[in-house]
Amino acid sequence: MASAAFSVAKPSLQASGKGFTDFSGLRSSSAFLPFTKKTSDDFVAVVALQTSALGNGSGGYRKCAAEAKLKVAINGFGRIGRNFLRCWHGRKDSPLDVIAINDTGGVKQASHLLKYDSILGIFEADVKPVGDNSISVDGKVIKVVSSRNPLDLPWKDMEVDLVIEGTGVFVDREGAGKHITAGAKKVLITAPGKGDIPTYVVGVNADAYDPDEPIISNASCTTNCLAPFVKVLDQKFGIIKGTMTTTHSYTGDQRLLDASHRDLRRARAAALNIVPTSTGAAKAVALVLPTLKGKLNGIALRVPTPNVSVVDLVVQVSKKTFAEEVNAGFRESAEKELKGILSVCDEPLVSVDFRCSDVSSTVDSSLTMVMGDDMVKVIAWYDNEWGYSQRVVDLADIVANQWK
């Protein structure tokens, strides 16, 4: 792969029949990620420019014109909701039109937290409240409503087509279905769905998307990291069984200081501890790769970093192999069918270097190991907010392009 310079390139994802083609974001998806500057100030400045309308003087970013085909509402304006809006704002010719946000904090809070972000930096778009019930993003007016009960939301009156369900609460048919009862036509859940809700991971099984399904799930951020390179391993070497550990940044579900929580480990102070906890990400891979049902399991270690996580996968394979061959398989897929989804990094980088990476997973090639020619260890980095939110936009694009 060619090396990628650390540059500020405008996002240019174009929707296609399968949802997207190539795109660029904070950095290119490539084998090398050389950085000439690494201070947090430089990082924040780059992110701010990348996610702003000022990042391209020629007007490559969407301004106030609504060219979208699908009316979209965001339910829950937390980490994923705000990341989703920034990712969408950076897309060119998106088939989506975000027209509403449901946020119980109100207009001022929604506007402020979109503008100022401790991880992404200052959003250099022109973000401001408009009256008591809307915000403006570079002139694009988005209505803000406030209700904890989806049944009370004005989706019918607003003719909402698709709800991005980002609360983490309404993840089954009964809960997510309340949006449809309220007048929305479809729901995309930004979390693992419960029950028989179809799960799609872009680059893995999203080409099998069924437009007749009113409610779908984008799986978890960890499943989005794991599934693409697991797919490559299974196709090229045949996975017999394996285990995964994700060293995961703390999330809003944890406690800042020791406090009550249904998970006693997550009840402990997130910024002071390594917190072992459960994850269904490995088992969920079977939802998008059915041949792996019962073959994978895993745990999570929540650590005191605010963003970027890393998966450590160990699998037994049926075909004898060696580390260089494994990495070669990843490189081939990253240049072909998984371009923009999977990347391979040859540089000795650390977690901060992968903040705002657009891809779902970046294999750390120097850490790939093979023991006894059939036990493979793979390390892959992922931005559990930004990279995941890019996939939510991708999946929403697929929904739009196959609307019925």
First-last CA distance in the chain: 39
Eight-state DSSP code of residue 39: -
Crossing angle between the packed helical segments 79-89 and 386-401, to the nearest 10 degrees: 60
CB atoms under 10 Å from CB of 389, counted, come to 27
Sign of CA dihedral 297, 303, 306, 308: negative
Q: Are 73 and 100 in contact (CB under 8 A)?
A: yes
Give the pairing of strands 361-364 and 375-382. antiparallel
* Cα torsion through 60, 63, 69, 72, rounded to 10: 120
Cα separations in angstroms, 267 against 256, 285, 339, 387: 9, 28, 39, 27
Q: Which residue has the tokens 């003087």?
A: 57
Q: Which residue has the tokens 């296609």?
A: 16
**Residue 87 annotated as catalytic:** no
Among 221, 225, 345, 356, the active-site one is 221
- Coil, helix or strand for 110? helix
Q: Please state whether 324 falls in left (phi above 0), alpha (psi between -120 and 50) or beta.
A: alpha
Q: What CA–CA distance (Å, rounded) separates 134 from 318? A: 57
- Coil, helix or strand for 162? strand
- Among residues 203, 205, 190, the alpha carbon closest in space to that of 341 is found at 203
- Among residues 236, 386, 366, the alpha carbon closest in space to that of 309 is found at 386
Q: Are 130 and 111 in contact (CB under 8 A)?
A: no
Element housing 8 (H / E): none
Sign of CA dihedral 386, 329, 200, 280: negative
Eight-state DSSP code of residue 383: -
**Residues belonging to the active site:** 221
